[in-house]
Structure 1
Amino acid sequence: MAVDRIGGDAVRFLVAGGLNTALTSAVYFAGLIVLPSGLSYALAWLAGLVFVMVFYPDRVFPGSRTGLTDRLAIGATIAVVFVVGLVSLHVLQAILQNNVMAFILTLATTTVLNFLFSRWILRR
């Protein structure tokens, strides 16, 4: 049933997101030992992007499209959602005057967008 498939995809997406967060955090903090924070952040973000492009088609959405074009499309949408999240964070901070709530709402929005776009690209 389609709902079961969506639920399985969502659970795998959240687990993979946790792994991705652990990976990127490790890269970021390891990078801080020898790199400026901005460069360390960029390297961590790039590592996360590569993780998504390599891991998601095979493990998060098993049986889906796995071609190079599909992997690049996932990477592109993740990058676009990152920019959307950055803009949203600044707008919500200005409106809400609450950095924590702005972050939580941005995180929720970008997580949902990344799931929907990734699933649409790989399951179409």
Structure 2
Amino acid sequence: MSKQKTLTDLIKFVIGGGINTAFTFALYYGLQIVLPYQVAYALAFATGIVFSYWFNATIVFRTPVSWKGFFAFPLVYLAQYLLSAVLLSVFVERLEIPQGVAPLVVIVVTIPVTFVLTRWFLRRT
């Protein structure tokens, strides 16, 4: 795979992540008006996973969409969460990065890792 293709895919991945984040936050805020906030969050989060799978499979990496891939895709989110939780702890407790800033640093660090995991996963399912 060429460096140009990888860079193009990474840009599309980041744009899709931005769209997904904005959409899920908007959905959460809308749903929590009529539902308990935990239910609203769960529905918005699940919708975000569905959108992420569809967007990354069809737009970013152009891989076939399948039920097997769809039901296994949340493993990428699990891996991302576990890595993010460890990094957040290290940044706050060891490197003394303020709690309000550390999540932003975590996002910057984990985007490339999540990109690689997503690409690997979607090409295997």
Normalising by the residue count of structure 2, what TM-score does the alignment of the two structures yield?
A: 0.82
Q: Could you tell me which runs of 5 or more consecutive residues in structure 2 were left unpaired when the two chains were aligned.
A: none
Please list the CA deviations of residues 49-92 of structure 1 after superposition, one character each: whole Å capped at 9, or x if unmatched.
Answer: 11112221111112x24333233333211232123323432442
Q: Provide the identity percentage.
A: 30
Q: How many residues align?
A: 123
Ranges in structure 1 where 5+ consecutive residues have no aligned partner:
none
CA RMSD after TM alignment = 2.1
Does the CA contact (< 8 Å) of 2:32 and 2:40 recur in 1? yes
CA positional deviation for 1:101: 2.8
Q: How many angstroms apart in 2 are the aligned matches of 1:107 and 1:38?
A: 23
Aligned to 1:2: 2
Tell me which protein shows more helix as a share of its residues.
1
Find the aligned partners of 2:86 and 2:41 in 1 and give their Cα distance: 18
Contact 1:49/1:75 (CA < 8 Å) preserved in 2?
yes
Show the counterpart of 1:94: 93
For residues 13-52 of structure 1, what are the structure 2 equivalents within 5 Å? 13-52=13-52
